[in-house]
A and B are shown apart, each in its own frame.
Chain A
Amino acid sequence: MTETRPGYDKLIFELSSPGRFAHSLPACDVPVEDPAQLLPAAYLRGTPPELPEVSEVDVIRHYSRLSQMNYGVDTHFYPLGSCTMKYNPKINEDMARLAGFARLHPLAPEAASQGALRLMHELARDLAEIAGMDHVSLQPAAGAQGELAGVLMIRAYHLSRGERRHKVLIPDSAHGTNPASTAHAGFTVVELKSEASGEVDLADLEAHLDEDVAAFMITQPNTLGLFESRIHTITELCHAKGVQVYMDGANFNAILGITRPGDLGFDVCHFNLHKTFTTPHGGGGPGAGPVGIKSHLAPFLPTPVVVERDGVFALDWRRPQSIGKLQAFWGNFGMLVRAWTYIRTMGPDGLRAVSDNAVLNANYVLKRLEGDYDRSAPGPCMHECVLSARRQKRHGVTAMDIAKRLLDLGFYAPSTYFPLIVEEALMIEPTETESRETLDAFCDAMIQIAREAETDPAPIHAAPMTTPVRRLDQTLAARQPVLRWAPPPAAS
């Protein structure tokens, strides 16, 4: 946000003035233009929709003012754990907007879409190399869809071998999309308790592994920011019972060029291009969630698959065992262009430096804060660290309070209350694109808040005070949902 602005509190409908318009449409150049002469009357809308009537200046000013009520990575440090809020390169935006990409229809003849198909083929190959996988589907629109695709492929794999397995094992530290996607694929979710370090409880895992388990799904590094070091043992134990192992790739930013899920024994993994691969978050998407697999799952890939034969790229639909489709077309191509551009900008050494610096920055923050906040686990972390506000809670200051106070001090908050297994969790992922000065400023603010919690918590409880709105009544919003603007009742 640029500054505290008193009172910009308009919705676009409230700027409306009958007769104003912002559009510029051409005159009709064909003979018959009256729709009543072309379509049966019943299909023609009687009353126009209640949409705004505003000028172009109104539109520009309104949305510019709205933007100034947001925090973005371009203006603020965003230490959200597991979200990888790293810098979004502007060259990616330019390349996605090239007419040959942005203005290309998905059903243009394949012979006339070779540049787009080539880009997809190359990106899939690059992601496969990064993950140590054999094939990658670029179709899923986000991580959750990637998970659904992965779990459905695992299901299809077991069915193809005559086995109907009903359960999927997921640690209690997992992101909510893991059990949600699994349930949507028709499986029963069995939650495994993690050890306090967030690592897998091997004994609990072994006790649950049987031939009714289709898959074990984990995040690596885990959601406490720690590398699960016994991973080879885990994947071997699973495979011994025919259980497929799935890696949630949300934390890929920690391991680029360092280790690869395919080398660790994983059968499936997904990528979040809007995390590790810099495609912008956009206030909640669009993202992209490609899924990587080992060859034994290839028959089940979503259709179509981008293939190459003698230098010609094509969409292959002849895949009788495919799980089907997740989106109407081929994937979030605009985001794929951005990710391709990023991978080419960085090159192999650059990607390795990404993870090295992500890990360095997170450990630096952890070191600076461990005197004032409880660590969730001993030892170095990877690209993110989880602290607990347990000490502060004794003074009546919760993780949520800390998050709100940080907004007043000029920072977006870390993730709070995730993972569920840490009390008053604060999950901090600085990413590699932040400078040491920014990290120091953030740590100074966190330490200030820790002191305030002990001596004078009033500003913490009052926070935020400098944002366009103060703390909001979530209860009212849920009890009496008002989910749209309504025109004021006509004066009688």
Chain B
Amino acid sequence: MRYISNTAAQQREMLATIGVGSLEDLLAGIPPKARLSRPLALPPAMAETDLVRHLRAMAATNADADSHACFLGAGAYDHAIPSPINHLILRGEFFTAYTPYQPEASQGTLRSIFEYQTMMAELTGMDVANASIYDGASALAEAALMAHAVTGRREIALSRGVHPLYRRVVETYGEGPDLRLRDVPLGDGVTDLDALRKAVGDATAAVVVQYPNFFGCLEDVRAAGEIAHAAGALLVVVADPVNLGLLTPPGALGADIVVGEGQGLGVPMSFGGPNLGVFAAKRELVRRMPGRLVGATVDRDGGRGFVLTLQTREQHIRREKATSNICTNVALCALMATIYVSILGKHGLRRVGELSTAKAHYAAAELAKVPGVRLRFGAPFFKEFALELPKAPERVVKRLLRDRILAGVPLKSFDRTMKQSLLVAVTEKRTREEIDAFAAALGRAVA
């Protein structure tokens, strides 16, 4: 057993020190009828070489973004992951460290979280960001709970432009506090503001819009905020932080809370997890925020140091009155994002946005040239767009897989009214060749 150091001889010595005859003696407190009377029915242990061969074969059956051109989005994106990140996060002092409760032995983690909090606040245009929630969806759910706690109201007005799977998570988290979700329809790809005005009232805790929204379209966040605030509700904006190097940040458009999926900031797609839930808010809301917060302070000698702070919000102190039940979050993914943002830097992240939107617009134009194919919505889009196809999108996707193209996400399973639509995402990684090949293959597939 290569992970267990005790030899049989050492076990005997230790048992003798303890004063018992065998390991079984140490388990005597467990009543016999509680004992499992057989070994666990699991496959036998595999040697490392066999295991590697086995898993390589299993992994090889998956159509990944190294072997295929990936035009999939809908909440997970194939943005480039710069080479230094993996090397740094594989340092054992980072990835095998515990939560930084003993701050003197955890300054590495604490300082990088402080940097992360700063970067997320800068990108979102908000005053304060936490150390992470699990993913964008659970971050949104926590924002809904927080809006309820702050306003005392139960209704959450959710634009239909918010990711449908995020909506389901809000619904699940909303069960306990009995939150009511009100859906606000779209008009040509963005939130119908008249419908929003009608949906918002003095029972509304928060208005939620996504920017860009699930269909890739750019929302009028400022107008949504004005409607929310006029009714005494908070504005919660769901935003992909990768885009905020180029786009006007939600904080400048009236957001009270900004949440989003930070996976595009250097975290592998990894079949949907782990992810990175970004959570940022205005200063006056900080004591209601969920999740860990790292703050600056001084040590005994007056030197600068960092600690977990405002911990009385959290479950380990506040227990049933905690702002959230979250304990373990996704610190290592936050570290990946911190390093990513350091590498891309002040001007690089803007460039990622510029390339993504330039290529997305080129792709939309080329794909729409295919006979029978058109853009579903007229609203401005950023790096993602919905196409109407003349043939069933699922069949088109299956056909293009043979050309090693992951063509997009068919929208039927999210919205029955969109069963002819395919959601296509384009990042800075997609080359003109890949896009032209996609258009050619699409032409063949719908002919």
Contact = CB atoms under 8 A, between A and B. Distances in A.
A29 B123 CA distance: 27
A324 B172 contact: yes
B100 interface: yes
A180 B322 CA distance: 6
A450 interface: no
A360 B52 contact: no
B10 A436 contact: yes
Interface stretch (A88-96, A236-244, A291-299, A452-460): A88-96
Interface residues of B, number: 206
Interface in A192-224: none
Contact of B354 (A35, A227, A302, A379): A35
**Nearest 7 pairs between A and B by C-beta?**
A100-B59, A329-B272, A74-B92, A347-B45, A106-B272, A282-B332, A284-B331
A324 B114 CA distance: 34
A32 interface: yes
A395 interface: no
Interface string B60-84: 1111111100101011101010101
Contact of B42 (A42, A115, A129): A129
A104 B401 contact: no
B135 interface: yes
B55 A95 contact: yes
A327 B273 contact: yes
A107 interface: yes
Interface stretch (B188-196, B199-207, B227-235, B304-312): B304-312
A108 B134 contact: no
A137 B343 CA distance: 37
A106 B96 contact: no
A129 B41 CA distance: 7
Interface in A51-71: 51-54, 56, 59-60, 62-64, 66-71
A258 interface: yes
Contacts of B286: 481, 483
A443 B432 CA distance: 64
B93 interface: yes
Nearest to A7: B303
Interface string A328-344: 11111111010001011
Interface string A373-387: 000000110100000
Interface string B156-181: 00000001011011011101111000
A334 B270 contact: yes
Interface stretch (B240-248, B368-376, B439-447): B240-248
- The listed residue with most B CB atoms (<10 A of its CB), out of A35, A331, A412, A432, is A35
A264 B27 CA distance: 16
Contacts of A484: 114, 117-118, 121, 127-129
A344 B85 CA distance: 28
A87 B270 contact: no
A contact residues, range: 35 or more
A331 B107 CA distance: 30
Nearest to B123: A49
A431 B310 CA distance: 31
Interface in A464-490: 464, 467-474, 476-478, 481-485
A282 B134 contact: no
Nearest to A105: B72
A79 to B, nearest CB: 11
14 contacts: A22-B84, A22-B344, A53-B345, A66-B107, A99-B64, A105-B269, A186-B178, A326-B172, A329-B275, A361-B6, A363-B18, A472-B307, A483-B128, A483-B295
Given A152-B175, A351-B40, A435-B6, A106 B271 contact: yes
Contacts of A280: 95-96, 332
Contact of A359 (B26, B299, B413): B26
A349 B61 CA distance: 30
A245 to B, nearest CB: 14
A50 interface: yes
A38 B91 contact: no
Contact of A263 (B36, B57, B86, B348): B36
A25 interface: yes
Interface in A100-135: 100-109, 111-116, 118-119, 126, 129-130, 132
Contacts of B44: 347-348
A310 B135 CA distance: 33
B345 A52 contact: yes
Contacts of B36: 132, 257-260, 263
Interface in B74-127: 74-76, 78, 80, 82, 84, 86-88, 90-100, 102-109, 111-115, 117-119, 121-123, 127
A236 B28 CA distance: 22
A103 B64 contact: yes
B325 interface: yes
A353 interface: yes
A43 to B, nearest CB: 6
B58 A75 contact: no
A347 B43 contact: yes
Contact of B17 (A130, A324, A364): A364
Interface string B346-361: 1111111111011101
Given A112-B62, A147-B325, A281 B175 contact: no
A252 interface: no
A23 B352 CA distance: 10
A428 interface: no
Interface in A274-315: 274, 280-288, 302-303
Contacts of A73: 92, 96-97
B255 interface: no
B428 to A, nearest CB: 6
B198 interface: no
A394 B76 CA distance: 56
Interface string A1-30: 100000001011100000011111110111
B184 interface: no
B225 interface: no
Given A467-B105, A477-B309, A52 B346 contact: yes
A86 B4 CA distance: 10
A436 B138 contact: no
Given A95-B52, A287-B328, A471-B300, A68 B355 contact: no
Given A108-B72, A115-B62, A176-B322, A63 B339 contact: yes
B299 A471 contact: yes
A407 B320 CA distance: 32
A390 interface: no
Nearest to B86: A97
A78 interface: yes
A477 B317 CA distance: 17
Contact of A49 (B63, B245, B269): B245
A268 interface: no
A102 B328 contact: no
Contacts of B58: 100, 115, 118-119
A132 B322 CA distance: 32
A83 B52 contact: no
A72 B249 contact: no
Contacts of A232: 31, 33-34
A478 B310 contact: yes
A258 B316 CA distance: 30
B136 interface: yes
Contacts of A160: none
Given A287-B328, A470-B301, A49 B96 contact: no
A102 B76 CA distance: 12
A251 interface: no
B131 interface: yes
B270 A333 contact: yes
A141 interface: yes
B17 A327 contact: no
Contacts of B40: 129-130, 256-257, 348, 351-352
